[in-house]
Structure 1
């Protein structure tokens, strides 16, 4: 509880304030898994997204049997890659010949090095990825370059504990400046209790997060509504919405005042943002 109160009183983390779109009050475009369905979560997809104008990349991370942090979404390799079985049952060496859309698998540390100017929205897909990510951020002094998310709030808390174990280096940015987004439990609390006037209370005293990332709807329940966006922004919580591919829906969300849109359609988002004079965002 005390940590949540302390974090609610400090300024927003650099990830949410230092990028060009944030400084100008623009909504941010996120390339979801690189915005390339055939080559998702590969370096080639991310490089193409940056070339297309994206400054923010959404990605997923999992750990191998020998502890390597790999950019990959699914628990198993079968759906998108040439491999078979669970990723965590393989060592990095055993994955050397596995490809996605003809591209090799990618380690997170390699992505940090390859695209040093990109902001990375990192979704923790297993518990082991939380301390592994913290360690890599420390090695690369990359605290200000990532926003950490997970559907499981427990993984976010585990990541926070791993950051605390790293201490506070005497640098411009440190572990406490890493931005995080709320998971399923945090979002449910905001959706259910927000209409009762409790969004601000949740932000100040209960939720140790810097923004919220939500779908347009969850099943039959609308989530990214105009009222939800208004309440969150009034409480100091930027709202990012995923995954949006239709131009009309992008326009509606932008009119609501959302702070970011994640998409698999780089071309569609670029066209919508160009009409508004907020593209490219590199």
Structure 2
């Protein structure tokens, strides 16, 4: 019997407001299995939930700004503590999409993280980041973030490379763009017992294809649409 496919909501969901309280509140109503937030670190090592390298109206990158200045520029900034607490109450796992390697140390130093660490999955990581997470946070689940598939390369070779790197890093599973997912890769993951997490899919036809292949998680902005597809 095939295991249930997990629904992961992409940061912002259908609100269009990434890493926002509106997004978090919507997710707690829609109840995906996993909620994604983007994680960066300020110059002084504080966690900043933000996708892009720069905040609006700032000439300096987030990693070059003190957290106090970031709060002044964006006072409604969502905290990771709030995300973890609200998702825990709603029974939702949290996908921490690591945007800079410095953010790993910041997560490690956050006391609230350790209370909720069993509900967290890390993504956005390759060899160096996975090694850091395993060193600082042993036992935490980390997904290996696949390279994009270059069409001039034989697909079987690409799939084998991504799976080998996933195994060598001792990652929990493979995280990959849906455009690069073909049945051969999914079958290979199943054969090697590697969970495959696929991002980001809003088209119902593509959802249907991936469901048919038997992927383990689909990331989407459209939680209710994906749930409907899965319940057919």
1: CA distance, partners of 2:77 / 2:183? 39
Q: Does 1:109 align with 2:81?
A: yes
1:88 equivalent in structure 2: 63
2: CA distance, partners of 1:187 / 1:147? 24
Q: Does 1:140 align with 2:114?
A: yes
Q: Does 1:61 align with 2:39?
A: yes
Give RMSD over aligned pairs: 2.9
Aligned pairs for 1:1-282 (under 5 A) are 25-36=3-14, 38-78=16-56, 85-99=60-74, 104-116=76-88, 117-136=91-110, 140-163=114-137, 175-176=138-139, 178-184=140-146, 192=157, 194=159, 199=163, 206-217=168-179, 223-273=180-230, 275-276=231-232
Matched residue of 1:147: which SS?
strand
1: CA distance, partners of 2:98 / 2:146? 13
2: CA distance, partners of 1:40 / 1:159? 24
Matched residue of 1:142: which SS?
helix
8 Å CA contact 2:13–2:220 kept in 1: the answer is yes
1:9 equivalent in structure 2: none
Matched residue of 2:66: which SS?
coil
Deviation at 1:41, TM superposition (A): 1.0
2: CA distance, partners of 1:120 / 1:239? 17
8 Å CA contact 2:125–2:142 kept in 1: the answer is no
2: CA distance, partners of 1:159 / 1:140? 13
1: CA distance, partners of 2:99 / 2:15? 18
Give the count of matched residue pairs.
Answer: 225
Deviation at 1:127, TM superposition (A): 1.7
2: CA distance, partners of 1:186 / 1:224? 10
Point out 4+ residue stretches in structure 1 off by more than 6 angstroms. none
- TM score, norm. by length of structure 2: 0.84
8 Å CA contact 2:130–2:171 kept in 1: the answer is no
Deviation at 1:141, TM superposition (A): 2.5
1:265–1:42 distance in 2 versus 1, CA, 3 Å: same
1: CA distance, partners of 2:105 / 2:95? 16
1:248–1:130 distance in 2 versus 1, CA, 3 Å: same
- TM score, norm. by length of structure 1: 0.70
